[in-house]
Every structure is written in C-alpha cells, then in structure tokens.
Amino acid sequence: MSDLDLRGQRVLIREDLNVPIDDHGRITSTQRLDAALPTIAAARDAGAKVMVMSHLGRPKEGQFDEASSLAPVAAWLGDKLGKPVRLVRDYLDGVDVADGEVVVLENCRMNVGEGKDDEALAKKYAALCDIFVMDAFGTAHRAQASTHGVIRFAPVAAAGPLLCAELDALGKALENPAHPLLAIVAGSKVSTKLTLLDNLIGKVDQLIVGGGIANTFIAALGYSVGNSLVEPDLIDAAKKVLADAKRRGAEVPLPVDVVVAPEFSANATATVKLVDQVRDGEMILDIGPETAKQYAALIAKAGTVVWNGPVGVFEFDAFGKGTETLARAIAASKAFSIAGGGDTLAAVDKYGIADEVSYISTGGGAFLEFLEGKELPAVAALKARAGQ
C-alpha cells in the first residue's frame, strides 16, 4: 500500500477488527484495533476515500444482527482519528466518501455469499474501490469474498502494512531465524496442534511443549499422569514427534517436575512433584519450578523464540508460575521473540511483558496456520495477482 498514490482514490481496506465486545457493547481488548489504526490513518492522511471492511464474530448471512454490528468499532476509530467515523449499513451498490474521510462498512459476514467466497459478491466489493488493500492478517487464513475473492477482481490489489509486518515477523522467526530457534507450543490438545508440531520439528532447535500437550508426551514416556488432561489416542503420535525430533537433531525437553492438584480449581492445593511421582487422582496443572528454571535457561540462550500457548493454567495464580517464569525469560532475552494466539496474549498482558516481546501477532487461527506451514489463501491470492 505504501508504494501507491492514494490521493482521491476509493480505497477499500480489509482489516480484522474482530474484537471481543461485552454485553454492554464495550470493547474488552483493543489489540487488533491498535494494530490496524496506523494503516487506516496512513490512507486517510494520503487523501484517500477510505472504506474499512471487517467481520465481527460469526453472524448469520442475509440478516442484520445488532450483537455483531461494528458500531462500537466505528465509534472507537472515530475517537482515535479525532473525527466521527460513519458506519455504513447498505454499501454493496456504492458508498459516497469524501477525500480524507474514513467510513466503516457494516460486518461483511452479514452479506450473503461472504463465507463461501461468492464470486458475484467479490465483484461487488471490487466495484466499490479503485484500490483494495488486504491488511487483515488475522483473517488471511479464510478464503472468503472479502479476504480472497475480491483480490482477483479489484482494479488494484495490494498488501497492507500490518499484513506485511506480520509476514515479515513470522518469516524472520521461521524461515530465516537466528539460531537456536526455540518454540513453545502449549495448549490443551495434541490433536489440534499435531500438524504444527510436525512442521516445527523440522525447523526448530528446541521445542518446549506445555499444558495438555505435555501431558500426552509425559504419558508417551511411560509415566502416570493421574487424572490429567491427556489424549491416549495420541500417545503414538507424541512418540513419533519425539523420534522425528531425535532424528533431526531437535531437542524436546520434557518436564522433570510438575505442579499437581486434586481438582481443577483456583483454590485447589498446589503440590510440586517429580514427574515420575504423579498418582491417581492428581492433575498436572503447571510445570514445576526446576523445569521452569531449565526452560528459562534455554530461552536465555535462544536466538529466536516463537511462543504459542501458556504452559500451565495461568488463569489460576497457584498454577501460573511456570508460564510467568517463561514469560519473564522471554522478556529478558535478547532473542527475536514472537507471540501469538488468544491465551498467549492474555498471558503477555497478565505479566505485563508486551513491550519486551519483539512482535505480537494479531492472528489466532492465521498464526497457527502459518506455523503449520500452510500458505494463507489471502496471501496466495495477492501473490497470484502480482504474478509471483
């Protein structure tokens, strides 16, 4: 986008302004808005007629749904841009926008055909503009009319600064990393992250697994995990990841100690145990202090750290020490660090390390698909359009 002359042009910018909104219509996290704002302000400052397009939630197509309206987002943008921002409900047949004005187009997922990447709808979007800017990294993994189809039909299609920054940061972390490259992949289930683990194992020097994923790996080593969250069907898959890692020279350090509790609750009594001493009736809810120390030492030596997922139930303070120790180690390290995913960003916020992480991704699903090694459909469409 920054290479184009936007003055007087009708510029349609697809952002991911899918932010959490509470029952009172208040935005509870502005991370995605903060990240998109510079793109929108730059287009406005360049004298473009700016139309901002986004989805919010997953409303039913073909009907208006107040709860999924972008009204709070338009109000937020108006506040930040110092001038009210109109929310346009009916826009598919054209919108009047003045030079240097910013308007928000109502939730594109209310349009029939958006989800299925309908060609007629994509052409309508394309007809709204002289230049289409794809800046929604968080939705770049969806092949929908506003993220994919429109790229084929817009008079000009360009990548926006936020999308470029996200791809640069992820490329720096995974395609051209400073070594050692260490990834932290945690979460409740191996099944949802198996492709990601398989892809990363061919790239990383160290892979730290956490949460329910680590439990399945611990079980794969033959230890009892008591009542912990575990996927017995994936124990063989975990063994295969460990064997692949060994073959490729990647380390997968597993916990030497863990924090267990008799139940999943904020007030449950937390006990530190060696990993081979977990008994029936106990649940592993965090890594232990010795493990956290060992992992922090690896982070201190890393050249690049990719972080997706907290290693314990950090929402409960008694089981958050492992995640906190790793977060502080990332904050203190000189490595290029990138963090992404909803729970990870909540941990980044909780421990106040946002300024110390080199790059915080706005992508949830898109971040994971990139880590899985998949090409994001919107990025593929931009490349095809550019003849790459």
- Kindly determine how many residues on this chain lie close enough to bind ligand 3PG according to the rule CB under 6 A: 8
362 contacts ligand 3PG (rule: CB under 6 A):
no
Query: Would the CA dihedral through 57, 61, 67, 71 be positive or negative?
Result: positive
- The minimum distance between CB 364 and ligand 3PG, in angstroms, equals 4
- 32 part of the active site: yes
Nearest to 365 by CA among 355, 377, 356: 377
Binding-site annotation, residues for ATP: 193, 315, 341-344
- 202 part of the active site: no
Q: Which is nearer to ligand 3PG, 137 or 217 (CB)?
A: 137
- The minimum distance between CB 178 and ligand 3PG, in angstroms, equals 28
* Options 9, 18, 39, 216; binder of ligand 3PG; rule CB under 6 A: 18
- 189 part of the active site: yes
The residues, any chain, with a CB within 8 Å of residue 348's CB and separated by 6 or more, are 327, 339, 354, 357, 360
Q: Where are the alpha helices (DSSP H) in 130-188?
A: 150-153, 161-174
Q: How many CB atoms lie within 10 A of CB 196?
A: 21
20 contacts ligand 3PG (rule: CB under 6 A):
no
Of 134-142, 223-231, 239-247, 284-292, which segment contacts ligand 3PG by CB under 6 A? Answer: 134-142
Q: How far apart are CA 272 and CA 286, in angstroms?
A: 9
* Secondary structure string (H, E, C) spanning 82-127: CCCCEEECCCCCCCCCCCCCEEEECCHHHCCCCCCCCHHHHHHHHH
- 374 part of the active site: no
Residue 87, strand partner residues? 104
365 contacts ligand 3PG (rule: CB under 6 A):
yes
- The minimum distance between CB 171 and ligand 3PG, in angstroms, equals 20
* Options 10, 124, 142, 148; binder of ligand 3PG; rule CB under 6 A: 142
Q: How far apart are CA 349 and CA 187, in angstroms?
A: 18
Binding-site annotation, residues for (2R)-3-phosphoglycerate: 32, 109, 142
Which residues contact ligand 3PG (rule: CB under 6 A)?
16, 18, 58, 138-139, 142, 364-365
What are the residue numbers of the active site?
Answer: 32, 189, 342, 365
